[in-house]
Structures are given as C-alpha cells and as structure tokens.
Amino acid sequence: MMTMTGILCLWLMDLLEHHGDHDRDTVLMADGFNARLDNFELCFLLETFNGIFNYSDVLFGILQKQTFDVQFCLTRVNEFCDTIERERCRFSQIYDDTACISSSPSARRGPAQGDPRTYYQQLHSNILDNINCQIRNRFQDDEKCMFLSLLDPRHFQTYRKKFPQTAFSSLTESHGTLFDLSKLKTELTVMYAMTDFEGKSPSDLLDFLKQKNLNEDMGQLYTLACVTVTIPVSTASVERSFSALKRIKTYSRNATGQTRLSALASMSIEKDLLVELKRTDRLYNRVIEVFLRKERRKDFVFK
C-alpha cells in the first residue's frame, strides 16, 4: 500500500508537470511543498497523523450526526481510544516506510542519546498519549451518564437476571424528579423480560413505543427514552454553524446582511432537509410567491 507521503509526491509531481493548467502561486507552493517532502521528520509526522485521522474522521462524522444517541456515541469514543492505543504497534512500519522515501533521520540530543529511532519512537508515543488524554478529558463526565446503560440493548439479557441498580441510582441522582421511580423500575423490568424489545436502541425504542401506542401505558419508560435521545454527546452539531460561515461569508459576500446571512447559514446547515424539499414543486412555488410579493422595478407576473 502506498504511503501518504508517496501519494502527495505523485500528486505534486503531476501538478508541476502540468504547470500550465494552474496559476503561478499554486505552482510555486506545490514546488515548495514537494521540496519539503524530503524532510524525514515531516514525512514521519504525515504518516503518523494520517493513521490517526483515518479513525478520527469517522468519529467526528458520528459525533456530528443528530440521529445517534449518546450511548452509541460514547461507545464509539471508547473504541477510538482503544484504536489509538493499538497504533503504537505501527511505529516500526511507519519509521521504516518513512526511511525508504525520505532522507535519513539526523541524530537527536536529549533522552534519546543521539539514536534517531529511539527519539522518533518517543515522539510517536507522546503524540498518541496526548490525543488519548485530550479525548478522555473531553468526555470525562461520562460517569454522570451511567444511567444511559439502562437502555443499552446489549445488556438486556443480563438485566433479566439482575436489575442494574447502580445505573438506576445514577438516574435517581441526575433526573429523579422527572420520574415516578417505582413505576419506572417496574416498566424497565417488564421491558427486559419481553423479547419484543431486544436489540432496540433508545431511538428505536422510542419509535416502537409510539407505533404500538405504548407511550401512555409505559409512560415512564417513554420519558426515559426521550431523555436518552435528547442528551447531546458533544457540541459538534452546534459547531457546524461556525464551519458553515467560513463557506458562506466569503470575500465576495463580506457585506452580506444579517437576514441574508442567517438564511444562507440555515440552508447550509439543514442541507439534507433542503434537498428533500427540492424533490417537490411546493418549495419552488413558495419561493416564487415570496419573490413576486417584493416591490421591484420590473413586473415579473405573467399575464
């Protein structure tokens, strides 16, 4: 398999060979980047972070989705941390691949005692430790959400034999005022005992209770499912609005008014809903009606 550095080299060389298809600034930057790819440390860091970003990109996409419940997201976070730990085993491969495509690493001072391989192994380990530490700190309040395991379908069979009192006590401390706790415990016991509820995530459970008209008969369970699916696992979905502004408020739109900017931001953030609306003529007819109501010099109404 070709390394990330190798892919970048091929891409930059192709760009330089076809320099006539690009502007001068692009060609100059490509030439500079291509020269830098001979540096061992840069190539080593490229390979290291490429392996990490392959997994972090998937996790970031999951945390942005509004359809996944917090229990599912926290499980993916723990899996990501475990994956980062396993990346330590790839050091030798990363180091050897980098040595094959770039200049030899220079000796370093300090704890590595001049041995380049020892230095880069320590650097690789420090990077992984830092990322793992940052992720753990970011989600360090997971214990407050221990009650979410009450609706974790992977443990339903275990809960049939022994009720999860620890998780239930966590719910009592954090959201106890929202429930009739004795009734909720009964409804949870009934749910664990019924095969109809097996394998259902909190969001699936919510839909199932609605479809079977059990949201009133099992009202405490329904409320717990609502609480579970509405707890945000991160601020990633909120941060999407700031990411959208970089694409909307460009240089040519720097003077965009607040009303127009808010409308463009809403269209960018809710693009999935916009695509769904575009499948019918209703959206276009509504836009045309609003457009025609505005006062303009020209008469756009067909007579």
Report, as an integer, the average pLDDT of 246-263.
67
Same domain, 56 and 133: yes
Nearest to 148 by CA among 58, 226, 67, 238: 226
Same domain, 193 and 114: no
Pick from 36-40, 80-84, 139-143, 182-186: least confident? 139-143
Overall number of domains in the chain: 3
Q: ∠ at Cα 145 (142, 146), nearest 5°?
A: 95
What is the H or E stretch that residue 77 is in?
A: helix 70-86
Same domain, 117 and 156: no
1-15, 86-100, 131-145, 256-270: which has the highest mean pLDDT?
86-100
Q: Calculate helix-pair angle for 236-248, 40-64, nearest 10 degrees.
A: 110
User: pTM for this one?
Assistant: 0.54
pLDDT band at 232 (very low <50, low <70, confident <90, very high): low
pLDDT value at 189 more than 90: yes
Domain of residue 166 covers: 147-230
Last residue of a domain, one of 94, 118, 138: 138
The residues near 156 (Cβ < 8 Å, ≥ 6 apart) are 191, 192, 197, 198
In a domain? residue 168: yes
pLDDT value at 174 more than 60: yes
Higher per-residue confidence, 200 vs 274: 200
